[in-house]
Structure 1
């Protein structure tokens, strides 16, 4: 008799029918549900067991020792709860939650659990508490260590930052880092960090909060540019950190008549249903409402109204207490507005990209906007359209044209093989930027320049011996100083390098500039200079995207 059955036998008491054995059997039956039956299937006569993984069949008479031995020997990765497969599945689950912003409680959802069970009946998901308190911290520490190792190898980077207040009225500062690794643009969120003093939004408090984040990640001395919004406290904070800053410009235009129409349809379910039904069985459009903090939404609102203006008019005319339909003059004005604002929408999309170089686009895009607006000016018929044109040109002159004089945008435009000097509106500024770039290259070449040795001695072979004997040529000693001076002329090297680069054909607009510098092995110093500038983003959209998430 086994130890287990002996113990049960001693603690059991015979009943009136004397069925002491029945009590023992019942007790053992409840305890005999082994975990091996999760991985094997018992036959109907209970004399055999089939492995669910390899389909091997084993004899069994109720004892599971041989079955357990089979699992440990043949399928340790599925049987062992600490196996490599279990860890891999747990890790994948945690990454899914982190990357897709899923709640920890997803492991408690009935449908999700059933889905996972169908994929792998033997996998037991970790609990919500384990995910939140253990695995999430482990993944964060691992990801942080990996990112630190990457940033350690980076020579220069840029950051974008923005402040945000949560619904709980808590102040946060998000910092994203932008750098180039193996000639590919990379972005990473360094922190969504509480301000040191949550009630203090001063420049000093922001600067010290930024300093803590950048120091923790080891990039304080590597940051070449800081991208912020127009807040004066942000700009002042960058000055306190002694970092070059580029502010993001935005504007808001209000359109009363268009907003009134959209508001009516959005507030009336009956009118909105009529609007959708009137569009038939083809593509059904929704009306878009303007968002006060996103000027592009006003442009898209007007564009959608023009796309559906006939349907809007027919619904309004057939609906009681509806507002007046848009007049022909209002439609004409909205059409002109779309023409005027289209280049701004296109520009916003391009400079807000996350996975491509954007800083070099600023100056060429400003040139393109001016040209497009001037072409549109000849088509304008309404006084309101002409007035808006004049306002846009004036604001462009004040707020965007100065970017052509800022170091990072103009250097990056020069070093983008798609644009070079041709990307500037003002050729004088382009030449000034080229001279500044030349000076940068000179300094870099001087730092890399090796110590120049004297002119090598002339070597002759003696007739009496096969060994070579050094012999100084005194008449040519005067060449030493000239050759040394020639080798030390980093200015000439820089001029030649830039001339070669500028005279090469400009690349197509859809070409990746980083791919050009990746394959350009002849001008390594110029490549280093290009990567230093091109890693900077044109906008601070990355922190805003984090806040949206």
Structure 2
């Protein structure tokens, strides 16, 4: 409970908790607070640390997400998370460290902390990309560490929508009016109780109003959506409580309705890409996503350069991981014997002997086999993948690669590398939406 639910250490001393445990098992002896802090939690940490380290040691490519945040006591913290596709083609996410950040929030200091953390985990040379917000200090910190930077798509989309709302003075004014209405209901128990009463009387969903949050554009959408749903109830309560000055005009409600329809696609995108299982839609990973391939490109002229890049990466893999095909195998080695084709029992007896009339032909066959290069293998593999038909959008691309890894031995390595780049540094649990 302490580790998973973030309960305080003092829970073991709480009278209610102790009574609850005694009811479940009168014989169970609850560990002391000291026992937990000195023994059990450190042991649990070491066990978890060992499992994560083993997982990271077994991969060649990792993606980092990092963010600076401030606690309620105005203390600055840096959180660094790591994302990989493991040997079973499952996306895994680990929080490597959350550390107190006491220095200035400049690129050099942030970069030093990032390098310290990745060095301690032994993954500095495995970092494929780092996802952060659009802050200049974060971008510069990643570049100074020598890594590739991708902007957080959720943060970028947040800026786009917020700037669009600000560009419409009328809409921004309505946002402030709506925020004032929600604040009134949140701060007045009488108004909140009256809202529930009228909701029951008129058979409206018993939902609470949602307040917008400055740092999350989609909270504006949720506020508009909920107020639009509760339009009649909210207006009735405001009038009954003598707060008609807060009421919105029909023109305002009409604009809210239009805004909800216009913003809904952006909300769906934000919710989907904020999932930890979502891959980043850069060109290479789009083509390696079997659901999209070339269908994910609006301009087909961009497909061939992507294929060319992938072929070049496959050639590099084949050249570094496979034995050279230009050198003939040692005829005395066991591997050469196992690779030799079986002799056809129906062939003429003279054909099996060295020399003879087949000597020139056999030499030509051997020469043609030696001319097959890593580049040839890469082209053949890419051609096979190109001929594969896309799967349905709701299917798991990582499962497809797991099932086809043997068919595409080199391309699957690139898929594991590129599809591991997630779309956002914002965790899925940070959405402000409330359905209660």
TM-score (normalizing by structure 2): 0.83
* Stretch deviating more after TM superposition (106-115 or 233-242): 106-115
**Any idea what SS the aligned residue of 1:97 has?**
coil
Matched length: 392
CA distance in 2, matches of 1:125, 1:98: 16
Counterpart residue number, 1:443: 316
The unaligned stretches of length 5 or more in structure 1 are 1-95, 361-408
Select 1:133's aligned residue among 26, 35, 38.
38
Deviation for aligned residue 1:474: 4.1
Deviations 1:114-162 (A, max 9, x none): 2222332222111001111222112112211221112111111101011
CA distance in 2, matches of 1:326, 1:242: 53
**Any idea what SS the aligned residue of 2:2 has?**
helix
Residue 237 in structure 1 maps to residue 137 in structure 2: no
CA RMSD of aligned residues (A): 2.5
Higher RCO, Cα 8 Å, sep 6+: 2
CA distance in 2, matches of 1:514, 1:117: 46
Residue 213 in structure 1 maps to residue 117 in structure 2: yes
Counterpart residue number, 1:266: 186
Deviations 1:488-511 (A, max 9, x none): 1x3333233223223222111111
Does the C-alpha gap of structure 1 residues 260 and 113 become closer, same or farther in structure 2, counting only changes over 3 Å? closer
CA distance in 2, matches of 1:297, 1:166: 21
CA distance in 2, matches of 1:434, 1:516: 19
Residue 535 in structure 1 maps to residue 409 in structure 2: no
Counterpart residue number, 1:358: 279
Deviation for aligned residue 1:337: 0.7
CA contact (8 A) 2:64 2:131 kept: yes
Deviation for aligned residue 1:328: 1.9
Deviation for aligned residue 1:471: 4.7
Does the C-alpha gap of structure 1 residues 295 and 451 become closer, same or farther in structure 2, counting only changes over 3 Å? same
Does the C-alpha gap of structure 1 residues 265 and 112 become closer, same or farther in structure 2, counting only changes over 3 Å? closer
CA distance in 2, matches of 1:470, 1:460: 15
TM-score (normalizing by structure 1): 0.67
CA distance in 1, matches of 2:303, 2:369: 34
CA distance in 2, matches of 1:441, 1:245: 23
Counterpart residue number, 2:97: 191
Residue 475 in structure 1 maps to residue 381 in structure 2: no
Counterpart residue number, 1:432: 305
Residue 516 in structure 1 maps to residue 366 in structure 2: no
Counterpart residue number, 1:367: none
Counterpart residue number, 1:297: 219
CA contact (8 A) 2:177 2:246 kept: no
Counterpart residue number, 1:336: 258
Superposition pairs of residues 144-183 of structure 1, within 5 angstroms? 144-181=49-86, 182-183=88-89
CA distance in 1, matches of 2:143, 2:119: 17
Residue 500 in structure 1 maps to residue 404 in structure 2: no
Does the C-alpha gap of structure 1 residues 320 and 433 become closer, same or farther in structure 2, counting only changes over 3 Å? same
Superposition pairs of residues 326-475 of structure 1, within 5 angstroms? 326-354=248-276, 356-360=277-281, 409-452=282-325, 453-454=327-328, 470-471=354-355, 474-475=359-360
Does the C-alpha gap of structure 1 residues 436 and 118 become closer, same or farther in structure 2, counting only changes over 3 Å? same
Deviations 1:195-253 (A, max 9, x none): 4xx22211111111111100101111111010111111111111111101111212224
Deviation for aligned residue 1:484: 1.3
Deviation for aligned residue 1:460: 11
Deviation for aligned residue 1:350: 0.4
| Bigger Rg, structure 1 or 2 | 1
CA contact (8 A) 2:272 2:278 kept: no
Select 1:202's aligned residue among 96, 103, 106.
106
